[in-house]
Structure 1
């Protein structure tokens, strides 16, 4: 089954064609990073205007790159939300028109569910086992940590479309904190890659930044206090002392504080659900090398004498950030679970709801 995916939830205009939920035939992304770098963050009106300009060219490129005709596309999938409403509506209206004009099945996808299924694209992290063989060996339940600019979640996935939210963002998400701290340090936008690069060679123990775990047993996330702690350290340090070494050490200290909280929360959830067979990492911050290392280290230290727990993350950095391939992948499994719920020429309306399915 070939599905055309469309993603416009924030500042990427993306279209992709994916076959059977894993084989990527095309994956075209127009990023507005350079545009929003001028303001240090995404301006919704500007983002929406860019989506209008780029939607059709990106769509056409995805079809050409996939080397297929419209008659070979079985369905159209689109991000319904959450996200910026003014951006989402460009994608949903495009999908509505295609479905009506071409008679294609229309499948709305929740954005976070899309990130979850980024680990199914080209068998995330397990290419050496063979793509189809790897996908066939995915074992449920799966525990998923999604980490992006606007949200963090811990989700227990018992099967396709069967999600239980264990923990979520209370204030600043990790990716948002990366952006804000990068701005404080004058490192530019987006903050995740900028902080990661600056942290290389930095002393992560120089600044004693807080690790905010909230109340005992909570699996929710809060990073606003950490961001404030960085701001206070910067304010009390004379400008003459805020040299390259200061920035490297602050970036490393901040990154380590975020990584420690994320990794510990994931492992706490795992201990509470010992029947979990796999741990998955998804979302933009899943590209962070230090976070991947920290999670793997904790898995290695569990001393599990039974079947080894598998740790997956997207097989390519292009599947970590917002993309349409993940939307098409999620749509495949949504449709296969209940095909009777989807048809052509329906009307999808965007939403900011975080409801999973």
Structure 2
């Protein structure tokens, strides 16, 4: 199967020496990309979910006739990003005799990508895998950088590994049929990149918010490319989150607490991150860093992109405090938070006074 590259395709390199790989961005890539070039053995397993399988799964299998490829459709939803669902992948691989040369292909959103990546990292101590993200959130965030994981009832992404894919192919045409709520949830991660590292990009998002909501192809191409370049730069400098990569967690400590409190069936991940970013911004202002005007800009942008900004009804200050202390970013009993000095400049801190944290929580409830 030969590839048909397009001059309009964009390539972003994740530079990790021997584990480097390309992110290819373009329209119609699922129909054009030479996936077989990244399947090193004769066998592969496409892991998707029950929503994506009838839309894209069979068509993908029809293109991969040069290899022996099977398809496994997992239940759809964040609540299924679990050890029990992971076992379904292991069961299929073992019962069908897949060996160390097999390739896993993640076709879906962040849940599919994360759980397939973790299966690839752990099956026979590591097999090849490819990311084919179909949601905006997965395209701009979870498919890039090698974070793989499953959730636990006591905490989100607490069981996982750093494991890089062979390649990432981002087909922007997948976004045309994405439900509005899932699409908006992906925009939250796009906002994050501007907030933590690129004030000019944040301003561009403000100016083009209406075009992004309307899914204007040109605006989307810019947003996806800029997001991938921002994440690739951070990951290339700090693959396993020993330092700078932690800034990518802006809003996530608060957001993960919301998701865990709701048992992963309330706000979508991106929606919870949107609320969490605003909570982190308020805490940044209380520390005397972020201006009230910048907090207002962030809130206005989130609202313009049709994202929630309110904490779910019934969740209290003590719920946040309890759940945030279970977060992966707690080290030696200290809660590390990503805050903003200004829009475009993030900092990781572990010295937030408890009184200020509680004040910020109260201000958001």
State the TM-score, normalized to the length of structure 2.
Answer: 0.26
**Larger relative CO (CA 8 A, sep 6+): 1 or 2?**
1
